[in-house]
């Protein structure tokens, strides 16, 4: 029975992972379709589409799924999608930015507001927390891409602003408007990146204890479970001890 129970748990966990993977693929595909519709369906002529395709590839989205998402743009799909940013507060006043892509603004606003309320947060007005973040381009490379000095040199040569190197890898920051050019230059110097995307980088952070951290994770998970929500960013800070307990 123990073996069977273990197998059942593994299957259950795999099912959850597969569902999360499917949802991620769906969101990345939506971004590709909208990017292609807003510009040119050729990634080489459309910087936003090129970045969307690059991010999808880094997340192992199959080539046929990417091609199908681009074709949708010429078939008229994605016409009614609009991008909306929601801002609010989570446990202990931590700032939360929710980026959504929706064909029904009222539905999405209602769902996001309800999710905040049910999970101990508060949805604020536009601009209520954005001032605590900077819009940046983020390119990540694995540790084996090079040592900190060589990565820093390549990043500055490519036009980046800063690099954070740790045992987890290298994070390269640049101005949001320079992301396409910087990522292309880095690709030439270092090869394919792990991830290339626009992000909200916190300029101020809020410290959370274990209890509030668990509440925040519950809020973020619930928000990300919404099909209209593309990504969620917070400005939490937690000690290594708290993160280890999570």
Nearest to 132 by CA among 141, 124, 140, 121: 124
In Å, what is the CA distance from 228 to each residue of 28, 207, 223?
Answer: 12, 29, 9
Contacts of 172 by beta carbon, 8 Å cutoff, 6+ apart: 138, 139, 140, 141, 151, 155, 158, 160, 162, 163, 182, 186
Q: What is the dihedral of CA 27, 73, 180, 136, to 10 degrees?
A: -40
**Contact indicator for 65, 25 with CB cutoff of 8 Å:** yes
Contact between 68 and 23 (Cβ < 8 Å):
no
CB contact at 8 A, 17 and 25: no
Q: Each residue of 116-169: pLDDT tens digit?
A: 999 999 999 989 999 999 999 999 999 999 999 999 999 999 999 999 999 889
| pLDDT, averaged across the chain | 87
Helix/strand/coil for 246? coil
pLDDT one-digit tens code per residue, 175-230: 999 999 999 999 999 998 988 889 999 999 999 999 999 999 999 999 999 999 99
CATH tag for 82-246 (out of 3.40.50.920, 3.90.1150.10, 3.40.50.620, 3.30.70.980): 3.30.70.980
Of 239, 216, 7, nearest to 115 by C-alpha is 216
pLDDT digits (tens, 9 = 90+) for 74-111: 776 555 788 999 999 999 999 999 999 998 999 999 99
Cα 24 from Cα 134, distance rounded (Å): 24
CATH architecture classification, 2-74:
Orthogonal Bundle (1.10)
**The whole model's pTM is what?**
0.82
Domain ranges of the chain: 2-74, 82-246
Q: What angle do CA 195, 171, 134 make, to 5 degrees?
A: 95
């Amino acid at each position: 029975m123990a073996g069977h129970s273990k197998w059942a748990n593994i299957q259950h966990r795999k099912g959850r992972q597969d569902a999360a993977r499917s949802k991620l693929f769906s969101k990345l595909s939506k971004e590709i379709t909208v990017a292609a519709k807003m510009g040119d369906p050729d990634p080489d002529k459309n910087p936003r589409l090129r970045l969307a395709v690059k991010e999808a590839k880094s997340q192992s989205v199959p080539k046929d799924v990417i091609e199908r998402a681009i074709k949708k743009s010429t078939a008229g799909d994605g016409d009614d999608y609009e991008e909306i940013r929601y801002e609010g507060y989570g446990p202990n006043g931590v700032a939360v930015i929710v980026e959504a892509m929706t064909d029904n603004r009222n539905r999405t606003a209602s769902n996001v507001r309800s999710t905040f309320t049910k999970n101990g947060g508060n949805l604020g007005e536009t601009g209520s927390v954005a001032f605590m973040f900077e819009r940046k381009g983020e390119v990540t490379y694995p540790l084996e891409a090079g040592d900190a000095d060589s990565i820093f040199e390549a990043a500055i040569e490519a036009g980046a602003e800063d690099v954070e190197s740790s045992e987890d890898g290298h994070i390269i920051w640049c101005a949001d408007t320079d992301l396409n050019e910087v990522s292309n230059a880095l690709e030439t110097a270092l090869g394919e990146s792990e991830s290339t995307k626009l992000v909200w980088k916190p300029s101020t952070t809020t410290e959370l204890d274990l209890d509030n951290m668990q509440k925040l994770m519950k809020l973020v998970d619930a928000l990300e479970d919404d099909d209209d929500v593309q990504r969620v960013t917070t400005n939490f800070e937690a000690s290594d001890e708290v993160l280890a307990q999570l």
